[in-house]
Amino acid sequence: MNITATERPIWIHPDLQRSAPRPRRKVHLDFHNSQHEPRVGFGFDADEFIATLKASSIDSIVVFAKDMHGYFYYPSEHGPVHPGLEGRDLMGEQVAACRAAGIKVYTYYCVTWDNYLAEHHPEWLCFTRERETYLPAFDDTPRWTALCLSNEDYVQLMLDHTREILERCTPDGVWYDMPMPNPQVECFCHNCLEALRSQGKDPLDIRAQRERMQALLVDWMRRSKELIDEIAPGVELEQNNQTRLGLAERAPYLYNVDIEALPSGEWGWGYFPVNARYVRSLGLPATGMTGRFMLTWADFGGLKSTNELVLETAWIAATGSAVVIGDQAPPSARLDRAVYRHIGEAYRRLEQIDDVLEGAVGVAEAALYVSGLQLADYARTERHGTHAISDGASGAGKLLVEYGVQYDVVEAGTADLSRYRLVVVAEGDELTPAATAELQAFVDGGGILIHSALPGTTLEEAPWLRDLGVTAAEPSPFTPAYLRISPEFGDDHDAFEFALYDGADRWTWTADGSARAAAVLGEPLFQRSPEHYTSHHQSPVATITDLPTILVGERVAAFAFPIASGYYVHAYWIYAELFRRVLDAVYPDRIVRSGGPRSLELGVTHQAASPAHPERWMLHAVNFAGVTRRGRDHTDYYNEVVPQSGVEVSLGLPGTIARVYDARTGEDVAAHADGDRIVVTLPRVEIHEVVVLEAAS
């Protein structure tokens, strides 16, 4: 017998519940110095270093073995040692000091970005499809380079470097940066061209390139892990930039995934939430990495306000992830007191609630389904500040967060969808026969599906549309098209025709009672063109058809237009409102329902019962409402706080809740039963508050 969606338990990944405790308040201490810095490391004092870290509630740190310029910060036999180090073993001193102080320490090593090796070993360079390397022109300022992992002598050299690091000092982990083959995730060097052609593949085929780069990356990760396990069992392996396609294949070689995502940098606010949920769907612990910088990495003189760092670290912790704040030490290697005062104020707030963060796992009731090239793929054309996550995935993630839906991100074919109550399919998904079959099986098994379609989606790609009564589909020739909300779906806008800025499908529909048309399609008289135009922009609506643009069934709902990417790109409020109404129609009994504003993000984590405490659920309230300072081409700054008070949140949790209290103060929080749900009145939320719901023992 099928288990209906509402009968399915809340999903908590068992691998995460069993994972060993990890550092939760890390600093990633960048230290990239070119040969133009005459002296480095001269200001380092071990006692001052440790005192600063301790005062800032930091429990772990990444220090440098080799930077992206190719310079080592210890007396390496392989070299080159930074010429300004003056014989000092900076890495060794830092590791020893952290070890003695009980602070976990990781050593940084840059893999495919290495200026020195790029200049001295041009045979190892990656080539673009334009037959160029990533080396700068002779009259350009150098930035980064890219070396290809297809070169065995290059890979072996890096393994020799790793062996040397581990034999000189035994850190808690080795932190590899830029292990992916190159920024564009493709290579046309002679090795890669020969390998692809020998397999009968076209080197210009993006997918063939992705498969090749994935194979090289997996091989590097396997070999580096085998080496570390051989030399220093128990030392962790960290590989940066893993939240991209094919993580499931790389997961066996990872202990944790650091998600580099500085919201104020080019990542924006949309990158981390999607990727954190992608990592946890595979049972891997995640660590969210923001930075103290105002703009992006190595922004010397850039310092976020305390409120911004508190917000960003809270936002990470609310997903069940550990936290990293990035810093870059000046050439002296002496830590800046102002920087660590700000970091300390953010980290002390997390340390106050350490008890409810330790072992806490993010929960999920829904899955955002991704396939094709949706995640972190640099071949994508849409690049709205999210490191090339598709607009559909970014927009769907934003909508789910804003309406309090607790979700994972699941790559096609990597997880059992039946563990979720709801699956959201956003535009941009590649609906292959395998993906379609997986999704249809989920629906047939009693699951709830919401589908946001690109114009041109066929019934073969989305057979659940037939279940809604759709008999034919073709793209509307008009962009924009229009939408009118049906009266029975709450049209309170006087039959206004809302623009569908990215077009829509024309769905021929048979109203047989299994679904209702929540909105219908409107079209203009003509498509704007040199031959036909009027006014400043699009042509106004001329015809309201009887073709549905939103169909809502008992367990399946579908949009005939790309609502998720449309909301992400255009921020049109009606798209969010329509998504909410559809969500309420097909999945009203979700874990969290709130009377607060969408800027108050609500995340739920769970701790299993232990000798120290009974089973507990934590409701994280992260208040994004602030007095913002908008910069041109820049994400909103968050400085002054606008507190939220008296917000009621209704939660549907299993079992009996015995006590509800504030994680910071220990004081009871107002709560009452409402049928089989519990309604909590949040205490005043300035930036981040956590309410603990303790189960009856």
pLDDT at residue 686 in the model: 95
Residue ranges of alpha helices (H) inside 299-417 are: 306-317, 337-352, 354-357, 391-402
Q: Which helix (H) or strand (E) holds 196?
A: helix 190-198
Sequence letter at residue 68: M
Give the tens place of pLDDT for each residue, 544-556.
Answer: 999 999 999 999 9
pLDDT at residue 384 in the model: 42
Give the pLDDT band (50/70/90) at residue 485. Answer: very high
Give the tens place of pLDDT for each residue, 492-514.
Answer: 888 999 999 999 999 999 988 78
> Does residue 183 carry a pLDDT above 80?
no
Give the tens place of pLDDT for each residue, 383-409.
Answer: 444 456 788 999 999 999 999 999 999
Mean predicted confidence (pLDDT) in 143-169: 95
Give the tens place of pLDDT for each residue, 621-653.
Answer: 999 987 665 555 556 667 788 999 999 999 999
Residue whose pair of structure tokens reads 């992260």 in the numeric block: 622
Q: With contact defined as beta carbons under 8 Å apart, do 679 and 648 qualify? A: yes
> Does residue 521 carry a pLDDT above 90?
yes
Report phi then psi at 533, rounded to 5: -160, 160
Which two structure tokens, joined as six digits, stand for 301?
């003189």
- The CATH code belonging to domain 21-109+149-180+238-358 is 3.20.20.80
366-586 carries CATH number 2.30.30.30? no
Give the tens place of pLDDT for each residue, 88-119.
Answer: 999 999 999 999 999 999 999 999 999 999 99
Domain parsing of the chain, residue ranges: 21-109+149-180+238-358, 366-586, 592-695
- The CATH code belonging to domain 592-695 is 2.60.40.1180
CA angle 186, 188, 192 (to 5 degrees): 90
Which two structure tokens, joined as six digits, stand for 632?
């041109």
Q: Please name which of 339, 300, 278 lies closest in space to residue 27, comparing C-alpha atoms.
A: 339
pLDDT at residue 144 in the model: 78
18 phi-psi bin (left φ>0, alpha ψ -120 to 50, beta other):
alpha
> Does residue 564 carry a pLDDT above 70?
yes
> Does residue 382 carry a pLDDT above 50?
no
Give the pLDDT band (50/70/90) at residue 54. Answer: very high
pTM of the model: 0.94
Burial of 686 (0-12, 13-18, 19+ CB in 10 A): middle
Distances (CA, A) of 373 to 412, 431, 485, 501: 11, 11, 33, 23
Number of Cβ within a 10 Å radius of residue 650: 17
Q: How many Cα atoms occupy the beta-carbon half-sphere of 666 within 13 Å? A: 2
pLDDT at residue 1 in the model: 34
Residue whose pair of structure tokens reads 């309420």 in the numeric block: 584
